Amino acid sequence: MKTFSQVAVLLVGLTSVAAAQTKPEPKPPTAKPAEPKPAEPKPAGGAAEMKPPAELAELAKSITGTWRCKGQGMDHTMKMIDMTATLKQKLDVASWWLHGSFESKMGKEPFAFESYTTYDPKAKKWKRIMVESGGAWNNGQSAGPVNNKVDWEFTTHSPTMGDGQFRDHEDASDPKAGVKMSGEFSPDQGKTWVKVYEMTCKK
């Protein structure tokens, strides 16, 4: 049996022989084909083409501005008392939402809310989200105007009254009289309704 040293010598000898052989002429390098340029990235989901709803822009033409309102609202004692208010409307959030800021006084009690309204072309519905002083919030929708009248259906939550339903009614059928608005609340899934405000607003 060959020892380890003999095997090592043999391997060295074979390596020397291989090194001593005549090396072939090197081939000229072949030109590599040009690498294709990466494709230009495209906007994901067609985001560059997205535009605010045309229906919202059309509505904004007549509704933006400052409105002065008078009427009655329900105070903390559940009584209807005289109310005055200011409602400011403007396009907001890159013109995707109509932003309403409402400030009022019912007697000496202040009340305020912020609302955001937009149009969903796929559902063909108007959508609205509201947050109110006192910690309440609402979200709902409307099919839009019929004979210059609009009805809204909301789900609502109040820290004092809990979960419920709310309906808003807007009537702009008589431009000289302004926009008449009223709202009613149901604490029992629509079995009974209580009017909580009514007012008329003019620019």
Rounded Cα distance between 27 and 195, Å, is: 95
Share of the chain above pLDDT 70, in %: 76
- State residue 121's pLDDT score: 95
- State residue 161's pLDDT score: 81
Residue 59 above 90 pLDDT? Answer: yes
Q: Which CATH superfamily is domain 53-202 in?
A: Calycin beta-barrel core domain (2.40.128.20)
- Structure tokens given for 25: 């002429």
Residue 40 above 60 pLDDT? Answer: no
Q: State whether residue 71 is helix, strand or coil.
A: strand
Residue that wins the pLDDT comparison between 160 and 12:
160
Residue 52 above 90 pLDDT? Answer: yes
- State residue 73's pLDDT score: 95
Q: Average pLDDT, whole number, for the chain? A: 83
- State residue 175's pLDDT score: 86
- State residue 6's pLDDT score: 31
pLDDT tens track for 13-26: 333 333 333 444 55
Q: What is the pTM of this model?
A: 0.74
- Write the CB contacts of 55 (distance below 8 Å, at least 6 apart in sequence): 119, 121
Distance, CA of 51 to chain centre: 13
- Write the CB contacts of 49 (distance below 8 Å, at least 6 apart in sequence): 43
CB 189 within 8 A of CB 165: yes
Rounded Cα distance between 203 and 9, Å, is: 106
- pLDDT band at 77; cut points 50, 70, 90: confident
pLDDT tens track for 139-193: 999 999 999 999 999 999 999 888 999 999 999 999 899 999 999 999 999 999 9
- pLDDT band at 2; cut points 50, 70, 90: very low
Which sequence spans correspond to the domains of the chain? 53-202
pLDDT tens track for 118-131: 999 999 999 999 99
**DSSP class per residue in 16-58:** HHHHHSPPPPPPPPPPPPPPPPPPPP--GGGGGG----HHHHH
